[in-house]
Structure 1
Amino acid sequence: MLRVISKQFSIVLVFLIALSVNVFGKDVYIIHGYKSTSNYGWFNAVAQKLSKEGYKVNILNLPNADKPVLKEWLGAMQKEIQKIDRDTYFITHSLGGIATLHFLSETLKSQDKGFQVGGVVLVSPFDEELKKLPIFGSFTDKKPNYQILKNVIKNRVVISAKDDAIVPTDLSYKLAKSLDADFIQTQKGGHFMESEGYTDLPLVIEVFQNFPAESKK
């Protein structure tokens, strides 16, 4: 069931009591968005913090980020991501969210019953055309298979800001509803871009720390 969580950055909201666990062997992939790279904004800060907690973090560089094409991005992801299982997690920003959902729904459609992926944290995602950036047709013309995604992804979280002027928060909410993901909405934050001052995003770390303990074993 989708949960809507209104959040102020000054308030620490804990979903579940965080337990100290050994997360050795768990992989995190960070997937950037439009006109972005692996060095963008808050990616490195988040990667460093997760690495200290025992995760192996990989920040991908996807091709032609200024003129992205879904087929090219999926091909690059298939080359870079060799293993997907219950110890695999994804953090995405903006266009990287729908790209990752397409990648997972295609890659996992033939998996046996009971197969699971650790989780996804999607920051400012969307799955339909943006009025301000109507250039992502290859990504949004077709929806990912949400039924597959709901069945195989154990932890699903969407983060969005009420004042996002690029991806309206309503679009992120609709995606969260389709994915049956927890929806965390901040009052401020915009599109969580480097140009808006985001060189770190502690909320993502908080989400990871408060995933159910059994998913970290």
Structure 2
Amino acid sequence: MHGGQNQRPIKHWQYLLAQELTRRGHPVRYPQLPESDAPVLKDWLTAIENELAGAAGSELVVIAHSLSCAAWLHLSRRGSVHLPVARLLFVAPPSPEYLAGEPIFAEFVPPPGAHHDVTATSVAQPRLVCTTDDPVCRPSADVVYPGVFSTDHIPGGGHLDLAAGYGRWPSMVEWCDNPGVRLVTNKK
């Protein structure tokens, strides 16, 4: 699931990941969430619920980037009949302070402590990949959302998006096949 203001550009790691996993024979859902330039929380939650319902019965791995992490926190707080999923990965979630300071994202501010509800949404321990220089999450996400996630740190990764150079991301592809793989930079 993509972040806010993301129209799924073809060079972004998520787009490329969906292509590669499809090529490898995995069933992949990579929805365009509604109104991504001016997202509405209830519409995103409905879209996510619909995607979960459409994938019911499979070993579902959810990878959420940026704003979709905040949406997932709301979903985990309110619950869903489609949870838990097999694995959950948060990539560069925004801080509540960042969301509150951006009027188009303000309704996505998660309820206090909502990140603790995430453990009930995944069979395996939820995973987090973050950086210490993410402009939408200061301090780093593992500090903002402590005590829940198994965490991989990527130095100098920014927001782990296309602007930060995250097109092809080999360790992300490998993590999808093997959850024991450590997520590392895509830079050589």
Q: Which has the higher contact order (CA 8 A, sep 6+)?
A: 1
TM range (shorter): 0.7 to 0.9
2: distance between equivalents of 1:146 and 1:66? Answer: 25
Q: How does 1:61-72 map to 2 (within 5 A)?
A: 61-72=32-43
| Percent of pairs with identical residues | 24
The number of equivalent residue pairs is 176
How far residue 127 of structure 1 moved from its aligned partner, in angstroms, is 4.8
Report the CA distance shift for 1:141/1:118 in structure 2 as closer, same or farther (over 3 A).
closer
User: For the structure 1 residues 116 and 74, does the alpha-carbon distance in structure 2 shift closer, same or farther, using more than 3 Å as the test?
Assistant: closer
- 1:1-217 aligned at under 5 Å gives the runs 31-39=1-9, 41-82=12-53, 83-84=55-56, 87-108=59-80, 116-130=84-98, 133-135=101-103, 136-143=105-112, 145-155=114-124, 156-170=126-140, 172-174=141-143, 176-178=145-147, 180-211=148-179
C-alpha offsets along residues 172-199 of structure 1, whole Å, 9 cap, x if unaligned?
A: 1135525x11111011211122123222
Quote how far apart the aligned CAs of 1:204 are: 1.8
Structure 1 gap ranges (5+): 1-30, 213-217
Partner SS for 2:63: strand
Contact preservation (8 Å) 1:35, 1:65:
yes
Is the CA contact 1:160–1:169 (under 8 Å) kept in the aligned structure 2? no
Larger radius of gyration: 1
Q: Any gaps of 5 or more consecutive residues in structure 2?
A: 181-188
Q: Deviations over 1:89-144 (max 9, x none)?
A: 11111111111232244343x68xxx742111111013512179523221115247
SS at match of 1:177: coil
Runs of 4+ in structure 1 over 3 Å off: 83-86, 143-148
The answer (yes or no) to whether the contact 1:118–1:154 under 8 Å persists in 2 is yes
TM-score, normalised to structure 2's length? 0.78
